Structure formats: C-alpha cells, structure tokens
Amino acid sequence: MTPVEPPWALLAELTHGCPLHCAYCSNPVELVRRNRELDTETWCQVMGQAGRLGVVQTHISGGEPLLRPDLPQIVAAADAAGIHTQLVTSGIGLDAARLGALTDAGLRSVQLSVQHSDAQASDRIAGRRRSFADKARAAAVVREAGLPLGLNVVLHRDNLDALDAIVGLGLDWGADRIELANAQFYGWALLNRNQLLPSIGQLECARESVEAWRTRLGGRTELVWVVPDYFDGTAKPCMGGWGAVSLTVAPDGTVLPCPAAAALPGLDPLTVRERSLEWIWRDSPAFNAYRGTGWMADPCRSCERRDIDFGGCRCQAYALTGDAARTDPACRLAPDHPLLRGIVSEGALGAPSPAVPRSFRTAAGRGGRV
Ligand code: SF4
Ligand code: FES
C-alpha cells in the first residue's frame, strides 16, 4: 500500500455564524449551531496536532471567524505549531485594534470577500446594509498593517457582468491577489443553483476580460480564475485529490476531506473529540474512501487523466447522481454528463423563485436539508 503523505493545508471552520446571508455560500445547509462549536482549548489542541501532522498553512474561516472572541488565542496556537495563518473574512468587525491583536498573535495574511464592485449591489447580494463600506474599511486596515491582502469574489449571474469593475475595485483596495471564483454548487449554492447559474455568454465575456486584465497587469497583481466546471466539460481536481493535501475541521470538530463532505451519506466522519487528527487523516474509513485511484470505475479507471483530476469532485458526483463514486458529471466523458448539460440549459431559462438567503433561521425552516 502507498504510504499516506501528510496534509499541507487545514481549513479551520471556527463557526457557521455569519453576519452575511449570501445565497452562494458553500457551507452545508445543515449549519452547526453556535452552542455546538469547539471551545478554545480544543481548537488550540487541533492546531498543535495539525502542526505535528505536517500542516504548514491554515485558512481560518467560517462563517465569519471574527465572531469568535478567542480568535487571537487560536491564531497564536497555530503560529506556535509552525503553521502559517490566513484569516478568511467578510471584513465585518475587522478594525485596527482587532487586526493588531491578530497580527501580534501571528496572523500572516487576510483574504477578504466582496460581493460586487457597486456598494448597493454588494449589500444586496450579501443581505446586509452598509456591509460594502465595512469591507472597504477592512481592506484599508489590512493594507495599513502591511499584511498581504487577497480579495475573493464569488461570481454568478448577478455580478459576472461587472467583472471589469470588480478587478478595478480590487486594485483600488490594494489587493495583492484577486480570486475570481465562479460559484461552486455545494450547500446553499446548490440549493440556489438556478438563481446563480450564469449564461454561457456572460462567462465568455468574463473570461475575455480576465485575459485582457492579465496582459495589462503583467503579473503585478495575481488574478485567479476558478473554473466554472458546470460549463467547461472538464472535471476539476477537487481538493487536489481526496485525502491528499488538505483537511477540514468543521465548527463542531468533525474532520472532513473537504468542506462539503458532511453531506455524503455513509461517510461517518469522526470528530477531534473521538480520535487524533493524525489517526483520522491516515487511517479513518472516511479519508480512505476515495483516496488514490483504486476506488475508481470506468471511464476514470482507464483514463490517462485519472492522476491529474482524480475523477473530479466526489461531492458533486453525489449531488448530481446520488452516488459519490461515479465519475464527476462535469467531465464530458462521464456517462452522466448529459444531466449536467440539461441543468445548465434549464438554468439559462432563469429561476421561478428568489434565492434562499443563508441563515440559521432559513436552515431550520428546511429541516437543515436541501
Ligand atoms: Fe478525469 Fe475521469 Fe473524466 Fe478521465 S474520465 S478526464 S479521470 S473525470
Ligand atoms: Fe467534496 Fe469536491 S467538494 S470532493
């Protein structure tokens, strides 16, 4: 058996609490309630275990991690474990004092989200008034502190046409890196897929804009284009392979091969309360379920790209076919690819109802399930 290499990245979802209500959120519809979150001491232990396991980078995320008053202690524990920490935030609540405490604790970089280049549109998509102004202030505070700033923008039908202005905004705010992330359909985004799916024309224009910006910028600011795999005919190498480079710890301590895997039936992931991070990573059935290529059926089993894209995304295969072990329908060679083509053309017709805003209240209203 091939030895299991250590992971290099940990996504630490400290909380599912969030001041925003974005319909494209990839958090599970069944949000973890605040009273079920891990306490400070356990998160600090998780960081220590992650460092010993070999993790070199953690994305401290949520929900909104700034909702945790103990954030500096958790960052300090990660830093003490030799892990590079990046805060992934909406920017709501990030002022100079808060950022100062985090940088003193060892925070190395910040990734800030924004929903649109236009303040009103951004507030509408985020479901919170004046959130754009808060984000602009947060960006300024990060720049003043001299930390690297990444801007993350989830792209969908409602903002793709503003791509030029969005890149312009990122440059105005002093971003070192702008991540143009076409919406991926998990959790709330899957629930709201028909409201979010763009048209092929929108995507083509946006792609051309990105190329033009790259030429103009000449590498001075990094522009990342996260591929819209529903449209491309190719499967993405999701998470760099299942249990290959990264692990996620959910707010209640559940350890997952990816943030969306909580929705997979029969996976039975363990929590950090039950076993060590190292045992879960190397030996747990959940992490070994789709590791490597041995689990694959045809067409992936005999495909020359199986070590490049790992058969695509297991969560997407489950969401679209009900079987996580099937070839991701995003791949044009997948037997289920026509299903995806149908969804894309249906999406082009527009959605009959408004999107469901992400919140604990709307989650409860749906019994926490899609
Ligand atoms: Fe990737 Fe499987 Fe498609 Fe081959 S058949 S390109 S391995 S998803
Ligand atoms: Fe879970 Fe792709 S999101 S494997």
- The complex's ipTM works out to 0.93
To the question of whether residue 25 is assigned a binding role by annotation, the answer is yes
**How many angstroms separate the alpha carbon of residue 256 from the centre of ligand 2?**
10
Q: What is the pLDDT of residues 35-93, one digit of tens each?
A: 999 999 999 999 999 999 999 999 999 999 999 999 999 999 999 999 999 999 999 99
Q: How far is the CA of 11 from the centre of ligand 2 (A)?
A: 13
For ligand 2, pick from 258, 264, 310, 321 the residue to mutate: most ligand atoms within 8 Å of CB. 258
Using a pLDDT cut of 70, give the percent of the chain over it.
Answer: 96
**Residue 245 alpha carbon to ligand 1 centre in Å:** 20
State pTM to two decimals.
0.95
Indicate whether residue 229 lines ligand 1 (CB < 6 A). Answer: no
22 is in an annotated binding site: yes
**How far is ligand 1, taken at its centre, from the CA of residue 366, in Å?**
35
Strand 57-61 relative to strand 9-13, pairing: parallel
SS3 content of the chain, % helix, strand, coil (to 5): 40, 15, 45
What pLDDT, on a 0 to 100 scale, did the predictor assign at position 369? 35
The gap from C-alpha 10 to its chain's centroid, in whole angstroms, comes to 12
Distance CA 256, CA 22 (A): 23
Longest Cα–Cα distance of the chain, Å, equals 56
Q: Which residues line the pocket of ligand 2, CB cutoff 6 A? A: 186, 238-239, 258, 260-261, 313-316
Unique residue bearing structure tokens 């392979």 = 241
Return the residue whose CA atom lies nearest to atom 2 of ligand 2: 313
For the CA of 331, the nearest atom of ligand 1: 3
User: 3-class DSSP state for residue 177?
Assistant: strand
Torsion region of 292: left, alpha or beta (phi above 0 gives left; psi -120 to 50 gives alpha) = left
Q: Are 43 and 14 in contact (CB under 8 A)?
A: yes
Q: Whose CA is nearest to atom 6 of ligand 1?
A: 305
Cα 214 from Cα 260, distance rounded (Å): 31
The candidate with the shortest Cα–Cα distance to 248, out of 18, 32, 24, is: 32
Nearest atom of ligand 2 to the alpha carbon of 236: 2
Q: How far is CA 327 from CA 51, 165, 257, 264, 332, in A?
A: 34, 37, 18, 15, 10
CA of 237 to the centre of ligand 1 (A): 10
Average pLDDT for consecutive 10-residue bins of the chain (370 residues)? Answer: 89 98 95 96 98 98 97 98 98 98 98 98 97 98 98 97 98 98 96 93 96 95 94 94 98 97 94 98 97 95 96 96 96 96 80 84 57
Output the pLDDT for position 364: 65
Share of the chain above pLDDT 90, in %: 92
**Residue-averaged pLDDT of the chain:** 95
**Atom number, ligand 2, closest to the C-alpha of residue 238:** 2
